[in-house]
Every structure is written in C-alpha cells, then in structure tokens.
Structure 1
Amino acid sequence: MRSLPFSAGPRRAFALSATAVVAAGLSLGLTGCAGEVPMDPAKDANNPRCADVTVRLPATIGDFEKRTTNAQSTGAWGDPAAVLLRCGIESTGPTTLECVAVDGVDWIIDRSRAPLYRFEAYGRSPGLEVIVDSKKASGTEAVQELGAVAKLLPQTRKCSSVSDTLDLSKLQ
C-alpha cells in the first residue's frame, strides 16, 4: 500500500468543516425567504420570567412584523430579521458602556459591532438583550417598543454616572 504524504484525517475534517460552514451560510441566506429565524437560546432561557416576556412580545416593531424563531425565549422582527431579542442572558455587571434611560428602562448600548447594535436592559434579571441592524431598523424605536416587556423583569441595579457617586463639592 502506498503511503500518502499527508494524513487523510485532517483533510477530511477540513472538508466536513467547510461543508458545514457553507450549509450554515446557505441557511442564513435563506432566512429572508423562510418563516423561522434560526437563533441560539440564552443560558437561562427556561427561566419562567422569560416566558412572561416572550408571550407578550409586540406583533410589530416599527414596520417590521414579528417572526417565528427556533429557540426558546427569543424574538425576531423583519424579513430578513432586523431586530433580534434573547431573554435569559447573563446580566452585565458594572460597565463603562453608554447607558440611557428610555421610558423607565435603563439600556446599555454596545456599538462595537456597528452596524449591529446590542442593547441590554441593564440591571434586569434574567438579562434581556436586543440586537438591532441599524441599516434596517431604529434602535431607539426597538427599545421603546420592547420597554414594556423589559419592565416585566425585576430590576436589580440602575445606571449611574460618575457625577452621581461623587461629592463634587469636595473636588474644589
């Protein structure tokens, strides 16, 4: 038997990996035509409070219709999806990310993957995140529409600024 200059094992593994990547890419590309949005559930997606949230998700966000997802405690709007929601994430602790209050809900904003913006209902347990494709949808509109469901989750901390915690009279 003739020996090969390389092992067939790694080459086969690479071929299988490449096939998986192509299949995943095709399935993501087809979600614009399909009814169900593929998503991964958050770690604590089975939390009963997340069930309270997902049964009360709005039918629309702006002009985007709600779609079916394949994961527990998730939501999606738009075709292709422009707004995604996951309940049951691990809540972010103290952070330097921008934090804004919208209709009584504190939201931290992660702009590091623009044009995808990540909004987290800060200090809520379990955690709730919203991903918005800013090329298609308004983050402000999304968090306004989702504020009512975010309020269903108990608030364990609030946003604060450095000026809230400093006695400015001592700095003079």
Structure 2
Amino acid sequence: MTRRRRLAVLVATGSVAVGTLAGCASTVSLQAAPDANDPLCAQITAYLPSTLDGQARRWTDAQATGAWGDPASIIVSCGVTPPGASTLPCQTVDGVDWLIDDSEAPYYRFTTFGRTPAVEVYLDYDVVSSFDTLDALAPLVGKLPVDAACTDRPDS
C-alpha cells in the first residue's frame, strides 16, 4: 500500500470515528455572556473538570461555558455581568461567595459575588448537589480577583 493510500485510509477511519463519537451526545446550545472574551474566563473554562457531581461534561457552542449531564443538569457561564448589592442570600463555599437564586426551583442559579468577571452556575437541584458542584468549581473560580465580599449570610 502506498504512503498516500495509507494516509487516505487513516484520515477516512479517523473521520468515521470522530463522527461516531460526536453522535453519542449532542452539543449543548448556549449563549456567551457579555464578557465571555475576558482572558480570565479562558483560564477558568480551559480547566473545567470532565465530571461534576457524577455528571459527564458535554460540548457547548458558546465561549466561556461548560455543561454536564444528559440532559444538562449543570451549566457554567463565565463573563456574566457582576451583580451589585442584592437581597438574595449569599453562601460562601471554599472561599468563594455565591448569590443564590432559587426562584425557579428545582433549578437554581448561583452567581459569584465580588469577583470580576462573574461566573454563573445553573443546576438542577433534583439531580445534583449544589455544594458538591460549587466545591468542585471553587479552586478555579477562586483564582478570579476579589473586589467585594458578602456581608449578610444565612445561618449555617
């Protein structure tokens, strides 16, 4: 077999393998946050874990995002507008302050407070644990610059 023919066979085989793997799980369609192009977001999303609270990571089609589970039970978006003063409860997990919006329970939105760029995590509370998810993300998110801290926290 000539070198050119071997290369053609390898390319064809690789294309079939990639097509087969891509067919296993669909891409999660998301919108990028306004500041998703912040270089600090790239430093976070480049190191997102392959699993979160037992959920496998999936491909997304938006910059600075991540998704886990099928259907997606955890969605991360970096570069959202940093929240200002809020009446939402604030919880600290491994040194990172998160505002908690449970207005659409069992779907919860956690937004970093006092960090720029801000990060949001949406999760399905019926499928995954908020503490386990935020705890796993804290080493990455905790690298973002801090410019404020929560002053009112719920009793533990």
After TM superposition, the score normalised by the length of structure 2 is 0.80
**Paired AA for residue 36 in structure 2:** A
> What is the root-mean-square deviation of aligned Cα atoms in Å?
1.3
Q: Which of 82, 91, 97 does residue 73 from structure 2 map onto?
A: 82
In 1, the alpha carbon distance for the partners of 2:101 and 2:131 equals 13
Q: Secondary structure at the match of 1:51?
A: helix
In 1, the alpha carbon distance for the partners of 2:139 and 2:26 equals 26
Check if 1:99 corresponds to 2:124: no
Query: Among the aligned pairs, what percent are the same residue?
Result: 44
Check if 1:59 corresponds to 2:59: no
Matches within 5 A, 1:20-169: 34-161=25-152
* Structure 1 unaligned regions, length at least 5: 1-32, 163-172
Larger proportion of helix: 1
**Paired AA for residue 80 in structure 1:** P
CA contact under 8 A between 2:25 and 2:58: conserved in structure 1?
A: no
Q: Secondary structure at the match of 1:157?
A: coil
In 2, the alpha carbon distance for the partners of 1:53 and 1:129 equals 12
Q: Secondary structure at the match of 2:62?
A: coil
Q: Give the superposition deviation at 1:140.
A: 1.2
How many residues matched? 130
After TM superposition, the score normalised by the length of structure 1 is 0.73
Deviations 1:28-56 (A, max 9, x none): xxxxx643111000000001000000001
In 2, the alpha carbon distance for the partners of 1:140 and 1:66 equals 18
CA contact under 8 A between 1:52 and 1:152: conserved in structure 2?
A: no
- Runs of 4+ deviating beyond 2 Å: none
Q: Give the superposition deviation at 1:135.
A: 1.5
In 2, the alpha carbon distance for the partners of 1:44 and 1:133 equals 25
**Paired AA for residue 45 in structure 2:** T
